[in-house]
Structure 1
Amino acid sequence: MLSIILCRTCGNAYPSNDDLPQVCPICADDRQYLLEDGQVWLDVSEIAGDHRFTLSEPEPGVTRIDVTPDFGIGQKTMLVNTPAGNLLWEPSGYIDDDLLQTVTDRGGVAAVASSHPHLVGASVVWAREFAAPFYFNTDDRRWITHPDPSIELWRDSRQILPGLTLVQAGGHFPGSSVAHWAVGADDRGVLFCGDTIAVVANRTASFMRSYPNSIPLSPRLVRQIVDAVEPYDYDRIYGAFGSTIDHDARRIVHESADRYIAWVTDAIRDPDERSLVISPVS
């Protein structure tokens, strides 16, 4: 296995033979954070055996890989099967030989991608192991932490396997994207959204610049996200952390966007709210 260094907070990989930055640039950005004890770097060999992985199949053709306990941000990795090969979507930073063998037994990897730089994990390791391209949006290239010849830059949209298309929507990051799987959900269409469109607790959608730091997006960017996915048929959405909008996802995304925009523009008021009179500061 390729030796790599991982940021403990976000779980993204860095090449071990390069000089490490003082602080992970992913975590220094206002969308992310560092743990209270500051920047900690880990060699992947240091955590071998500290985590385990489990597999589940939320629908035919999709294998979800959960690493427990969570490592880094804790995204759920998806392996999407097509006749032309598998997409590995948003792999964890944690990787070991057993996991590599398990994925090999399920057909290997023909393409690697993620929705945005936070959820890249050990993508380069997977790409090298299977001689597969790692698709990274060119508008986020300043956030590449593990430069490698396997990285293939793209913009706007890109069919990476038959029936699997990356779609740039922006918002959370300029290059934030979704993966559209045309035959998913019994041919009704699936979006793998990461944090581009977040599936929240009540199985509706939300949109943020920073989820952990509660920094909202502008109405313009929320409309941009919804418009970007509008040409694609989809009835189901898989979020980054295990939550799913199982059906009627297009309607729910539209209604969620309308709700979000109405609240941030003060276009609606809760009838139970009290009006507050705020005295000027003297």
Structure 2
Amino acid sequence: MADSSLYLVCNTCGTQHPTSDRSALTTCFICDDPRQYTPPSGQSFTTLSALRSEKERRNEFHPFPGDPRFTSIVTVPKFAIGQRAILIQTPRGNVLWDCVTFLDDETVRRVRAMGGIRAMVISHPHFYSSHLEWAEAFGCPVYLAAEDRRWLARRSQESQEFLEVVETRVEVDGEDTGVRVIKLGGHFPGSLVLLYDGHLFTADTLMMTPAGLANWTVDALGNPRERPKGVNTFSFLWSIPNMIPLSASEIARMWSILKNYDFTSAHGLFPGWDIKDENVKARVLESMQIQIKAMGYGEHPFLKEVL
């Protein structure tokens, strides 16, 4: 059996490809897609073995402030896109939301000490990374959207489970974990979000903006202030790095699904991209309407949508 630690890994997106032959793999099909890119320096690959040999390379674990049920796992120094994985601890077992490419013995040890992983859910193909390495290490299934099956570099009938429906309940040994996986589409046809106990994990299906993460609570003198009207919290993009927006009709379709769920916090793809606000659902709707109006659809029926 081939040593998967020698499989080539794209330096730009972190996808692990099922070959160690550099002459056979000269480009990454994920990065060749118009939603992604290759850097000015060009396409390049590394391996998990090479990453593990780097003295400073590690995964850091950051519990959410005030709620240790959620822990961000972040690779430092930053690798590829730099997204976080989030370990969600439920009474029925741990669920990993999204995935980082880097996995070493110390990461496996720390995660096992926290209860291991009973299921993984990955939001979209840009974060498929090395998910089969994680699935093998923890003996767990990986839930992926059926619509995005074509973007898999590595395949496993034993580990990969494909979601066909809009909502999926994540179960462990037949017991409901309380985790809901919701298929919104948009960025990719099967782009997912995850909902657990009022926390909405968005990846970049709903892309948090600087205005959304800003501190509007006080002015420069420390006086209370209100958030200015008309600033968005999220943007809705077909391509994040290339800044190509979704259509008005696609945004409205996404809301037709998301409006059926309640949540009071949202958590994006990078560390620190967290919003705790009982009005965050209204901010999603407001952001959608701001974007649709800014794209020139001033009379779009969706602009009349209310909670």
Question: Could you state the TM-score of these two structures normalised by the residue count of structure 1?
Answer: 0.88
Instruction: Find the residue that maps to 2:17 and give its secondary structure.
Output: strand
5, 8, 14: which one aligns with 1:5: 8
| Aligned AA (2:292) | I
User: How far apart are residue 5 of structure 1 and its match?
Assistant: 2.6
User: How far apart are residue 18 of structure 1 and its match?
Assistant: 8.0
- What root-mean-square deviation, in Å, do the aligned CA atoms of Structure 1 and Structure 2 show? 1.7
Measured in 2, the distance between the counterparts of 1:2 and 1:100 equals 16
Aligned 1:52-91 pairs, distance under 5 A: 52-58=58-64, 59-91=67-99
Offset from partner CA, 1:20-60 (integer Å, 9 cap, x none)? 54321110000000122322121111111342222211123
Which residue number in structure 1 is paired with residue 229 of structure 2?
none
Which residue number in structure 2 is paired with residue 98 of structure 1?
106
Instruction: Find the residue that maps to 1:163 and give its secondary structure.
Output: strand
User: Unpaired segments of 5 or more residues in structure 1?
Assistant: 184-188, 269-282
Aligned 1:196-275 pairs, distance under 5 A: 196-203=205-212, 204-242=233-271, 243-247=273-277, 248-267=279-298
Measured in 2, the distance between the counterparts of 1:18 and 1:52 equals 26
| Aligned AA (2:145) | N
User: Unpaired segments of 5 or more residues in structure 2?
Assistant: 172-176, 213-232, 300-307
Measured in 2, the distance between the counterparts of 1:96 and 1:36 equals 30
201, 206, 209: which one aligns with 1:192: 201
Measured in 2, the distance between the counterparts of 1:253 and 1:171 equals 14
Measured in 2, the distance between the counterparts of 1:94 and 1:72 equals 10
Measured in 2, the distance between the counterparts of 1:89 and 1:71 equals 18
User: How far apart are residue 147 of structure 1 and its match?
Assistant: 0.8
Structure 1 segments, 4+ long, off by >3 Å, are: 16-22
Offset from partner CA, 1:177-205 (integer Å, 9 cap, x none)? 10111x2xxxxx01111110111112211
Q: Is the 8 A contact 2:59 2:102 kept in 1?
A: no
Which residue number in structure 1 is paired with residue 19 of structure 2?
16
Which residue number in structure 1 is paired with residue 57 of structure 2?
51
Aligned 1:89-238 pairs, distance under 5 A: 89-149=97-157, 150-155=159-164, 156-161=166-171, 162-181=177-196, 183=197, 189-203=198-212, 204-238=233-267
User: How far apart are residue 89 of structure 1 and its match?
Assistant: 1.2
User: How far apart are residue 2 of structure 1 and its match?
Assistant: 4.5
Q: Is the 8 A contact 1:172 1:196 kept in 2?
A: yes
Instruction: Find the residue that maps to 2:144 and give its secondary structure.
Output: strand
Measured in 2, the distance between the counterparts of 1:108 and 1:215 equals 38
Measured in 1, the distance between the counterparts of 2:152 and 2:4 equals 18
Measured in 2, the distance between the counterparts of 1:105 and 1:163 equals 22
Q: Matched residue pairs, number?
A: 262
Identity %: 33
Measured in 1, the distance between the counterparts of 2:188 and 2:88 equals 24
Q: Is the 8 A contact 1:199 1:245 kept in 2?
A: no
Q: Is the 8 A contact 1:90 1:121 kept in 2?
A: no
Q: Is the 8 A contact 1:65 1:76 kept in 2?
A: yes
User: How far apart are residue 227 of structure 1 and its match?
Assistant: 1.9
Instruction: Find the residue that maps to 2:123 and give its secondary structure.
Output: coil
Measured in 2, the distance between the counterparts of 1:96 and 1:123 equals 13
Measured in 2, the distance between the counterparts of 1:164 and 1:251 equals 22
